[in-house]
Amino acid sequence: MVLSREDIASLAAVSMVAMLSASDQTVVSTALPHILATLPGATLLGWVFTAYFVGATATVAVVGKLADLFGRRTVFLVSVGVFSIASLLCGVAASLPQLVAFRGLQGVGAGAIQTCSLIVMSDMFPPRERARWQVINSIGFATASAVGPSGGGFLADNFSWRWIFLLNVPLCIATVAALVYGLSRRSRSGARPAIDWPGVVLSTVMVVAVLLVCTWGGREFAWTSVQILGLIALAAVSGWLLVRAERVAADPVIPANLLASATRALSLVASFANSMVWFGLILLVPLRRLPHHQCGHRLWRPDVHDLLSK
């Protein structure tokens, strides 16, 4: 398959923003001591990670529908814009609460970027061709996730943790230029479905409630506390209402038939579990007090051996 200039520009842009959003998921792990030295507030430490993921997770389900409604190009450009502005705000944050808030906004942009990347790749290539090109994209995604902690440690050690975020801005501007060029002839308007707002709200509430249980349970609040049990109840009720809402929605944000076959269900289970493996290892390994420059070098073998020996 011969790629046009537009295809190459689109592929480069998709890979670039996917790498940026992936690296920003893990990049702050080794810079935390520097961030804490500048912006005191150890009790909010976990939220520098978690706010990003809450933002990313809360938006991904609806972004696909928005891309159908407004076109891939528009939604993709807005997503990169949100990510870029949030990165700039993270870089100039004056307090830890500000940084947490801006990380949440950055996560919103990153989640939208990752979903748009999948859609654009799907539009460009049929499945058999897509496998080849998706591997390239996935290698970039995985490499960026793995290099993130080492890169973050290097920048924080030698310059400032603020450059971890500020460096995103020029890269995002270059990406926007590539997207404007590459996706200009590729956007499809198609049918214009109505947004399933009940589905959007309920799925967001359910996901955020689950995340807060994971974040606060056993730490901020006891597992049997009113707060945690209330969040579990909220997640259960919103999940139940979501199922009911999606059954009657004209154009549901999460159609039931997306889970209707064994291939789809098992693919989603594998996606969920694979992320747990990947991000669990990436975030835990650098926190074992290795020198920053050795994190990438010693990422796998010693720690996998430790894991197996336990």
* Smallest distance from another protein to CB 210, Å: 7
Q: How far is the CB of 242 from another protein (least distance, A)?
A: 12
Angle (nearest 5°) at CA 141 between 45 and 22? 25
Q: Which residue blocks in the chain are alpha helix, DSSP H?
A: 5-26, 32-38, 45-70, 72-91, 96-124, 127-158, 162-166, 168-182, 197-216, 226-248, 262-284, 292-295, 301-309
Stretch binding another protein (CB under 8 A), from 5-13, 90-98, 272-280, 291-299: 272-280
Q: How far is CA 23 from CA 18, 108, 116, 129, 175, in A?
A: 9, 15, 17, 26, 16
Q: How far is the CB of 2 from another protein (least distance, A)?
A: 16
Q: How far apart are CA 293 and CA 297, in angstroms?
A: 8
Q: Residue 128 burial (CB < 10 Å; 0-12/13-18/19+)? A: exposed
Q: Does 56 bind another protein (CB under 8 A)?
A: yes
Residue 237 CA to residue 224 CA, distance in Å, equals: 18
Which residue in the set 185, 192, 288, 305 belongs to the binding site for another protein (CB under 8 A)? 288
User: Of the candidates 53, 76, 83, 161, which one interacts with another protein according to CB under 8 A?
Assistant: 53
Nearer to another protein, 177 or 266 (CB): 266
Name the minimum Å distance from CB 92 to another protein: 23
The yes or no reply on residue 68 touching another protein (CB under 8 A) is yes
Question: Residue written as tokens 């399933």?
Answer: 196
* Contact pick of 4, 95, 184, 271 for another protein (by CB under 8 A): 271
Min separation Cβ 176 and another protein, Å:
21
How many amino acids of this chain bind another protein (CB under 8 A)?
Answer: 84
Distance CA 61, CA 203 (A): 8
List Cβ neighbours of 75 (8 Å cut-off, separation of 6 or more).
63, 66, 67, 112, 116
- Considering only residues 167 to 206 of the shown chain, the ones binding another protein according to CB under 8 A are 190-191, 203
Q: Does 47 bind another protein (CB under 8 A)?
A: yes
> By CB under 8 A, what part of segment 75-134 binds another protein?
111, 114-115, 118-119, 122-123, 126-131, 134
The answer to whether 210 contacts another protein (rule: CB under 8 A) is yes
Minimum separation from the CB atom of position 170 to another protein (A): 26
Please say which residue, 42 or 226, places its beta carbon nearer to another protein.
Answer: 42
Please enumerate in sequence order all residues whose Cβ is within 8 A of that of 94, keeping only pairs 6 or more positions apart, or say none: 39
Closer residue to another protein (CB): 250 or 262: 262
